[in-house]
Amino acid sequence: MAHILYKAPQSQTCLPEEPIRNLLRCLTLGILPVLIMGTSLDLRAITDAPAGVNSADQSALVEAAAWIQRDSRIETEYRYVMTCKLRLLFFWVGRDDVGGGYIRMGKSVEAPPQQMIQILFGSDPAKAPRAINRWGAGTEILRNSDSGGPPAGAFFGFMKSSKGQSVGAMQHELSKEKSHGDHLFEGIISRVDGNRALSTTVPYVSSQDFDLHHYAEAEKATLQQLESSGDRKIRRLDGAGEMQCPRVGGFLSTMQQLVDDALAGRPVPASLCYVYNARHYTATLLGVHPVAQRAVHVALRGGASLNPTYRKLQEAHFEVVGKETESKSSFDILIGTEGKLRGAPVQITYEPNWWFQVILNLLPDSSPSDDRKAPPRPKPGGGL
C-alpha cells in the first residue's frame, strides 16, 4: 500500500547496454514509482493551475503540519525487501535486496484521536549498485469526527529527487552529487477538508545525503524548508464547484479501504475517489482472484535467503487514474487472508511495461500486530 513520487516515462525503452547500467536505471527510475504507488507526486508541476498565498491557507497548513508531527503509537508494521528486475527479451535478470522499506499504521498518542498511515521505500546505498541513493516517504493523517471538529486529512511527502531521464544523465547526476556535495530533495504538505484542498511543495538542496535510514532527520530538514520558504505557492481547490470528491482520505487510506474490500469479497470493479496535491484521482480495485499457494525466494546479502511459502491468498489488481494529470498506473498486491497475515500485503508488484519490474516482499519478522510508540518526531515549528 503505498503515490508515485517519480514516474518513468512510459514511452522509453530499456534494452540492455550492460547489466550494471540497466540495473542502475532500474533503481533510479523504478524505486520511486513503487514508493507511493498509483499517481504522480509531481512536485515540479505546481505552477500550471491557480495558486496563491493567504493567511487562512497558511494557518490551515500550519495546523496540518502539527497533525503530521504528533507522536503516534504503531499498531501494525510491515517491513519489506526490494527486488529490481529487467527483462532481456525472453527472460528476467535482476538483483534482490537492493533496498526496502515499511508500511506503518497506528493512532495518535494524544487526544484528539487521529489515524496515521506511513510508508517509506527506496534503495539502500549500502546494498545498491554504485551506492545509489533514491528513496522517499509519505505520512497520511486522518482526523475523524471524534476530534470535535469536521473530518479532515493531511499528507506529508518527502523524496530524494532525480531528474535524469537516461543512463548517462543519471550517472552524471550521481557523480555531480558526490563531487559537489549538493543533494536534491523535495517535499510536499497537503490538507483536505470537506470543501477545500490545499497543497504546497518545495525543492531544496542539502549538503547531507540523507538515506532511508535517516528519515527523522530528513523529515525535520524538509519541514524546516517548508516553513522557511517565503515565496512558496499554495495550490487549492475551493467549494463544491472545484472539490468533486467528498472524501478527505488520501491515497494510503483509500488503498487500505480497497484492500479491505478485496478481502471482504465485495463486487469488482470498485472505485474510490481522493484528492492529492489539490488534484482529483480515482483508485479502482479491478479484480481479485484466489492464490492457493505462492513460494517466494529472495537472496539476501551475506549469503542468507528468504524462502517463505504463503497459502490461501488473494491477488488484487489496482489502477489509479489522475483526472487533471491524465496519468494512469497499475500494480498488484498479494494479500494474506488468515491469522496474523490477514490483510497484510505480503508482496507488492509494480510492472509499468514489459521490460521493468519492482517487487516488494514482506520480511518474515514483520509485526502485523505490534503496539509500540513510533520514533520521536520533530516538533512543530513556528509556521509554514
Q: Which residues pair with 335 in a beta bridge?
A: 314, 345
Q: Report which of residues 199 and 36 the model is more confident about.
A: 199
Write the pLDDT tens digit of every residue in 206-256.
888 888 898 889 888 888 887 776 567 899 999 888 999 999 999 999 999
Q: Please tell me the predicted confidence (pLDDT) of residue 154.
A: 96
* Residue position matching grid coordinates 470535535: 148
Distance CA 87, CA 77 (A): 32
C-alpha distances (whole Å) from 314 to each of 81, 90, 152, 360 are 20, 28, 31, 16
The closest of 349, 362, 302 to 92, measured between CA atoms, is 349
Q: Please indicate whether residue 377 or residue 283 has the higher confidence score (pLDDT).
A: 283
Element at 251 (helix H, strand E): helix 251-264
Q: Pick the residue with more confidence: 372 or 127?
A: 127
| pLDDT higher than threshold 90 for residue 296 | yes
pLDDT tens digits, one per residue of 92-151: 777 899 889 999 999 988 877 899 999 999 888 888 877 778 888 999 999 987 766 789
Residue 11 has pLDDT above 80, yes or no: no
Is pLDDT above 50 for 49? no
pLDDT at position 91 is: 76
Q: How confident is the model at residue 376 (pLDDT cuts 50, 70, 90)?
A: low
CA 243/CA 279 separation, integer angstroms: 9
Q: How far are the Cα atoms of 96, 135, 264 from residue 27, in angstroms, in the given order?
A: 11, 10, 35
Q: Which of the two residues, 103 and 368, has the higher pLDDT score?
A: 103
What is the CB-side half-sphere exposure of residue 42 using CA atoms within 13 A?
Answer: 18
Nearest to 44 by CA among 140, 121, 208, 159: 159
Helix axes 215-228, 55-68, angle to 10 degrees: 170
Identify the residue with better confidence: 52 or 202: 202
Is the model more confident about 264 or about 175?
Answer: 264
Kindly report the pTM of this predicted structure: 0.83
Residue 321's CB is within 10 A of a number of other CB atoms, namely: 18
The mean of the pLDDT values for the chain is 80
Across residues 191-201, what is the average pLDDT? 92
β-pairing, 305-306 with 270-276?
unpaired
Is pLDDT of 29 > 60? no
Per-residue confidence (pLDDT) for residue 181, from 0 to 100: 79
3-class DSSP state for residue 180? helix
CA distance 320 to 232: 28
- Say which amino acid occupies 31: I
Give the span between the Cα atoms of 208 and 353, in whole angstroms: 34
pLDDT in tens, 53-82: 567 888 899 899 989 989 999 999 999 999
DSSP state of 129: G
pLDDT for position 162: 66
Q: Residue 94 — φ and ψ, nearest 5°?
A: 175, -165
Quote the CA–CA distance of 15 and 124 in Å, as a whole number. Answer: 25
